[in-house]
C-alpha cells in the first residue's frame, strides 16, 4: 500500500485548522497555569492499560517462537516506530516498503499497538527534521537507566521515546531514516541489527498507574529485542529511621535515599563483566525528544547533558495536575480504537483482524489528534494575557567551567569564556550537569565509583548525589563534561517556541552539521584540555533540617585538598570493620557490610524497645542473604516487621519456642554486602542463613570478613547473657549491611 503524501497533508491541515479557532478560544476556561499543555487526550483507565499489556505480551510471545520470529517482530516494531509523530506519515512510505517479508506479518499489530499507546499520551511537539547526526557515534554499548515514581501522566509518551532512543542508539536504519533530510541516504545499520541497548528501570512507591504502564513498556521493549531489567514495587522507599539510643524518628537522609535508588537502577552495570557497557543514558521522568539525546552521544564526553526547563506563567510555575480534558471528537477516536484493537483479542499478533491499511489509518488518526491539540495549545498561548517563560531548572547540580553554579535566568552561566558559546547554541564545556537526562561514560562506574552522599562527618559538602558524581569523575580524570543547549528537556510539555531562541542567553537550535562546520567541537576540546586540572567548584549543601539546597551557604571548594573520592573507594574495598570493643559491653554491634548501598531500615519500633521478643524469622538466601523479616510478639499478640531486601532464592522460616532467644550471632560479609548469618539461641539451636562456604584462605586474605556480633565477644563470662532484641541495616535487592541491638536477658536497653 502506498500513502498519498499530498492528500494526507491536506487532510491533516484542513482538519486541524477547522478545530483551531474553537480550541484557541478556550483559554478563558483554563484556570491555573496549565493552558499551554496540549491537552484533550483520553486518560487511560486500568482496563485500557492492561488491555495494552495483553497486546504487547502477545506480540512479544510471537517473537519467542523462533529466532526468525524474534527478528521479524523486532523489525516490525522498528518500522512502527518510524511512523510515530513527529515523523510525517507521508515520509514513511519508503521505510514501510523496506520491511522484510516475514516482518510484514507483524507490522499491522505493531503499528496498532504503538498508535494506541500514543493516543493516551500528552506529547510535546518534537521536530521531524531536528538536524541530528545521520550515523551512530560508534559501536558503543548503552544501558538506558531510570528511576520512576508516580509519573503515569508522562508514561505513554515516555516509554515510546525510550523505545525510539534505543533504536537510534543501535543505528537502526528505519528509525534514522525518519529523521534524515534525505530518506534514501540515511546511513543507519544496514541490517537494522546493531547492538541494542539494555534498559534498566527501578520503580518504588508509586500510588498511580506507573507500574502497569511499566509492565507494558517491559513487554514492548523486550519485543523490540532489548534486554530489560525492570523492577516495579521495589523495596527502596524513603523511610523513617529510629535512633537506637534516643528512640527518636527522623527521615532517611534525602541524598542517601536518592543515591540508593540510582544505584539500584545501575545494578545491571555493577554486576556485569567489564566491557558489557560503554555508556549509561540516565533519563529522569521528563519530556524529551529521542533524537536530541541521540545527538549527545556524538560529543565524546564523560558526561553530556542538554538543558532542562520549567515553564512559568508570571509568578506561577506551570504544572500538569488538574488539566481540563477537552474533547476533540473523542467518540470517533474511541470507536476506531475499539474496532482496530479487536477488543483486545490479540492472542495471535500475526493473524489478528488487522491490516496494514487499518493500522496506518489508526496511526493517522493519532497524528491528526496530536496536531490539533498542539495547535490549540499554541492558540491559547497566543491569546493568554500573561506569556509563558522557560526557566532553567537544575541550578543545584550544574556548574560552569569555572565551577560556579548555573542560574535559572539568562545568561545562565557566569564564566565569560563560555557564555558566548552558550548564546550561539553551541556545545559548552562545563564542570557538572545532570539536567533531566545525561549520557555518562560507564568506565569510572565499572571501576568502583557509585552515586553516594557526602562524607559530611569528615567535612565533605552535603550536596546532591549528582554533584558528587561529577566531583568523583573529575578526581579520577574524567573531566570532559559538556552541555549542548540545542538539546532541551522539560518537566511539562512545551510549545514550538521551545525549539527557537528561548532568550538572549540561548539562541535557536543549531543543526549538528552546522556544529561540525563551525569549529565548535575543536574549541570544546581546547577548553577541556586547558581546564582539566582546574578543581575549583561551588559547594551548595542541603539546608539544616531541610530538603532543599541552602543557597545562603554556597562556598567554593578545591577538590584537590581532600580526596573524598579516594576515601569512598577505600571504604568500598575495606568494608566497615567490627567496632573496637569498649571496656563495657557494647549493646549495638555493627554495622557489618556496606552502608553506602540501599535504604536504611530498623526494627526497633516493632520490638518496642525490647518489650516484644523475637518469635519468628523468615528469610531468603542463596549465595547471599537476600531478605530478612522478623516477627515480634508479646502477651497481646505478634507483629510482623517489614521485609528487608528482596525475597529471592530459597525461602525458609524459623519459629522460636517460648523462652527461646537469639543469644549469639556471626556475620560474614564482603565488599558488596552480607553473605551469611549464623544465629544461635539459648536452646543451642543454630540457624544458618546463606549457604555459601568459605575457605580459610578467603578469610585470611580479607576478601571475606567474619564478625562475632555478640556483645563482649572475647569475654566468655558474658556468653549467653544477652538476647537480640532488633536488627538494623541497609538493603535493596539484598541485605547490604546489618547491625544487632542486644539487651541483657531480663534487663533493659
Our CA angle for 544, 550, 552, nearest 5°, is: 115
| Of 8 and 466, more confident | 466
Cell numbers that stand for 372 in this block: 490539533
Number of helices followed by number of strands (H, E) in the chain: 22, 28
- What is the mean predicted confidence (pLDDT) over 195-202? 96
The span from the CA of 570 to the CA of 598, in Å, is 19
pLDDT at 254 over 90: no
Spatial separation of the C-alpha atoms in residues 521 and 484, rounded to whole Å: 11
CA distance 534 to 479: 10
pLDDT tens for residues 35-79? Answer: 788 876 668 888 999 999 999 999 999 999 999 999 999 999 999
The whole-model pTM stands at: 0.74
Q: Which of 125-134, 179-188, 398-407, 703-712 has the lowest mean pLDDT?
A: 179-188
Report d(CA 506, CA 412) in Å as an integer: 9
pLDDT in tens, 14-43: 444 444 444 444 433 344 467 788 876 668
CA-CA-CA-CA torsion for 101, 103, 109, 110, nearest 10 degrees?
-130
**What is the reported pLDDT for 604?**
87
Residue 113 and residue 49: Cα distance in Å, rounded? 11
pLDDT per position as a tens digit, 210-223? 999 999 999 999 99
The alpha carbon of residue 393 and the mean position of all alpha carbons in its chain are separated, in whole angstroms, by 18
Q: In terms of DSSP bridges, do strands 722-731 and 735-744 run parallel, antiparallel, or are they unpaired?
A: antiparallel
pLDDT recorded at residue 573: 86
For residue 146, what is the DSSP state?
E
Answer with the residue of higher pLDDT: 93 or 728: 728
What is the mean predicted confidence (pLDDT) over 316-322? 68
Percentage of the chain beyond pLDDT 90 is 58
pLDDT at 703: 79
Asked if 414 contacts 423 with a C-beta cutoff of 8 angstroms, the reply is no
CA distance to 204, 213, 322, 481, 630, per residue, from 151 (Å) = 11, 10, 14, 29, 33
Angle at 214 between CA 211 and CA 219, to 5 degrees: 135
C-alpha span between 262 and 201 (Å, rounded): 10
State how far the Cα of 647 lies from the Cα of 235, in Å rounded to an integer. 10
CA distances to 416, 586, 711 from 718, rounded to whole Å, are 68, 12, 8
Residue 315's pLDDT is what?
Answer: 85
d(CA 597, CA 270): 12
- Residue 321 is classified by DSSP as T
Q: Which residue has the higher pLDDT, 585 or 161?
A: 161
User: Does residue 336 carry a pLDDT above 50?
Assistant: no
Q: Return the minimum-mean-pLDDT range out of 325-334, 424-433, 516-525, 612-621.
A: 325-334
Count of other CB atoms within 10 angstroms of residue 52: 26
Q: Give the per-residue pLDDT at 41.
A: 60
* Range with top average pLDDT, 190-194, 290-294, 318-322, 716-720: 290-294
Q: Which of 124-128, 160-164, 374-378, 694-698 has the lowest mean pLDDT?
A: 694-698
- Predicted confidence band of residue 617 (pLDDT cuts 50, 70, 90): very high
List the domains of the chain with CATH numbers: 575-744 (2.100.10.30)
Q: Average per-residue pLDDT in the chain?
A: 84
Q: Do 172 and 114 touch, CB atoms closer than 8 A? A: no
Residue found by looking up cell 540561548 in the block = 506
CA distance 649 to 164: 35
> 340 pLDDT band (50/70/90 cuts)?
very low
Amino acid at each position: 500500500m502506498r500513502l498519498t503524501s499530498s492528500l494526507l497533508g491536506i487532510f491533516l491541515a484542513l482538519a486541524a485548522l477547522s478545530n483551531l479557532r474553537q480550541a484557541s478560544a478556550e483559554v478563558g476556561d483554563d484556570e491555573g497555569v496549565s493552558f499551554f499543555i496540549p491537552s484533550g487526550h483520553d486518560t487511560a483507565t486500568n482496563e485500557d492499560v492492561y488491555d495494552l499489556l495483553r497486546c504487547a505480551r502477545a506480540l512479544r510471545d510471537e517473537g519467542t517462537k523462533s529466532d526468525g520470529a524474534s527478528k521479524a517482530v523486532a523489525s516490525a516494531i522498528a518500522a512502527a516506530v518510524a511512523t510515530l509523530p513527529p515523523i510525517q506519515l507521508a515520509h514513511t512510505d519508503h521505510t514501510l516498503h523496506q520491511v522484510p517479508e516475514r516482518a510484514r506479518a507483524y507490522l499491522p499489530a505493531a503499528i496498532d499497538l504503538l498508535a494506541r499507546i500514543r493516543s493516551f499520551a500528552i506529547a510535546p511537539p518534537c521536530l521531524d527534521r531536528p538536524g541530528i547526526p545521520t550515523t551512530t557515534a560508534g559501536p558503543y554499548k548503552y544501558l538506558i537507566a531510570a528511576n520512576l515514581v508516580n509519573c503515569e501522566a508522562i508514561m505513554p509518551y515516555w516509554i515510546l521515546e525510550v523505545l525510539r532512543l534505543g533504536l537510534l542508539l543501535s543505528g537502526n536504519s528505519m528509525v534514522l531514516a525518519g529523521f534524515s533530510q534525505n530518506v534514501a541516504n540515511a546511513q543507519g545499520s544496514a541490517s537494522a541489527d546493531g547492538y541494542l541497548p539494555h534498559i534498566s528501570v527501578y520503580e518504588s512507591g508509586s500510588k498511580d498507574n506507573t507500574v502497569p504502564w511499566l509492565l507494558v513498556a517491559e513487554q514492548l521493549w523486550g519485543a523490540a529485542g532489548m534486554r530489560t531489567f525492570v523492577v516495579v514495587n521495589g523495596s527502596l522507599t524513603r523511610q523513617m529511621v529510629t535512633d537506637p539510643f534516643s528512640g527518636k524518628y527522623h527521615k532517611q537522609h534525602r541524598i542517601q535515599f536518592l543515591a540508593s535508588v540510582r544505584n539500584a537502577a545501575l545494578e545491571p552495570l555493577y554486576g556485569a563483566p567489564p566491557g558489557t557497557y560503554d555508556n549509561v543514558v540516565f533519563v529522569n521522568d521528563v519530556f524529551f525528544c529521542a533524537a536530541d539525546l541521540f545527538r549527545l552521544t556524538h560529543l565524546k564526553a564523560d558526561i553530556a547533558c542538554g538543558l532542562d526547563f520549567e515553564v512559568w506563567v508570571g509568578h506561577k510555575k506551570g504544572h500538569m495536575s488538574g488539566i481540563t480534558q477537552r474533547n476533540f471528537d473523542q467518540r470517533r477516536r474511541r470507536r476506531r480504537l475499539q474496532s482496530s484493537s479487536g477488543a483486545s483479542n490479540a492472542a495471535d499478533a500475526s493473524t489478528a483482524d488487522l491490516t496494514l491499511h487499518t493500522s496506518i489509518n489508526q496511526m493517522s488518526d493519532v497524528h491528526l489528534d496530536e496536531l490539533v491539540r498542539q495547535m490549540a495549545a499554541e492558540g491559547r498561548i497566543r491569546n493568554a494575557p500573561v506569556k509563558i517563560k522557560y526557566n532553567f531548572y537544575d541550578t543545584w547540580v550544574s556548574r560552569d567551567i569555572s565551577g560556579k553554579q548555573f542560574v535559572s535566568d539568562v545568561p545562565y552561566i557566569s564564566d565569560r569564556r563560555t557564555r558566548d558559546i552558550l548564546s550561539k547554541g553551541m556545545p559548552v564545556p562545563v564542570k557538572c550537569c545532570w539536567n533531566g537526562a545525561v549520557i555518562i561514560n560507564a568506565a569510572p562506574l565499572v571501576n568502583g565509583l557509585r552515586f553516594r552522599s557526602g562524607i559530611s562527618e569528615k567535612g565533605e559538602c552535603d550536596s546532591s548525589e549528582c554533584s558528587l558524581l561529577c566531583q568523583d569523575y573529575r578526581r579520577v580524570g574524567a573531566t570532559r563534561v559538556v552541555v549542548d543547549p540545542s538539546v532541551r528537556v522539560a518537566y511539562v510539555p512545551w510549545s514550538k517556541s521551545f525549539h527557537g531562541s528561548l532568550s538572549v542567553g540561548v539562541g535557536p537550535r543549531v543543526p549538528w552539521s552546522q556544529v561540525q562546520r563551525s569549529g565548535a567541537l575543536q574549541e570544546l576540546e581546547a577548553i577541556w584540555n586547558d581546564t582539566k586540572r582546574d578543581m575549583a567548584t561551588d559547594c551548595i549543601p542541603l539546608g539544616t533540617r531541610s530538603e532543599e539546597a541552602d543557597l545562603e551557604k554556597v562556598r567554593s571548594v578545591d577538590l584537590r585538598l581532600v580526596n573524598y573520592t579516594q576515601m569512598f573507594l577505600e571504604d568500598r574495598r575495606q568494608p566497615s570493620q567490627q567496632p573496637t570493643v569498649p571496656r563495657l559491653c557494647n549493646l549495638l554491634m555493627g554495622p557489618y557490610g556496606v552502608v553506602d548501598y540501599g535504604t536504611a531500615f530498623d526494627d526497633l519500633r516493632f520490638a518496642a524497645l525490647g518489650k516484644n521478643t523475637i518469635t519468628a524469622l523468615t528469610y531468603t538466601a542463596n549465595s547471599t542473604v537476600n531478605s530478612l523479616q522478623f516477627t515480634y510478639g508479646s502477651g497481646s499478640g505478634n507483629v510482623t516487621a517489614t521485609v528487608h531486601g528482596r525475597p529471592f532464592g530459597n525461602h525458609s522460616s524459623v519459629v522460636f519456642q517460648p523462652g527461646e532467644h537469639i543469644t549469639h550471632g556471626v556475620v560474614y560479609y564482603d565488599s558488596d554486602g552480607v553473605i551469611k548469618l549464623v544465629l544461635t539461641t539459648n536452646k543451642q539451636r543454630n540457624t544458618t542463613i546463606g549457604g555459601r562456604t568459605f575457605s580459610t584462605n578467603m578469610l585470611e586474605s580479607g576478601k571475606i570478613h567474619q564478625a562475632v556480633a555478640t556483645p563482649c565477644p572475647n569475654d566468655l563470662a558474658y556468653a549467653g547473657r544477652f538476647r537480640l532484641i532488633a536488627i538494623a541495616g541497609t538493603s535493596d535487592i539484598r541485605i547490604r549491611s546489618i547491625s544487632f541491638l542486644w539487651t541483657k536477658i531480663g534487663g533493659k536497653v
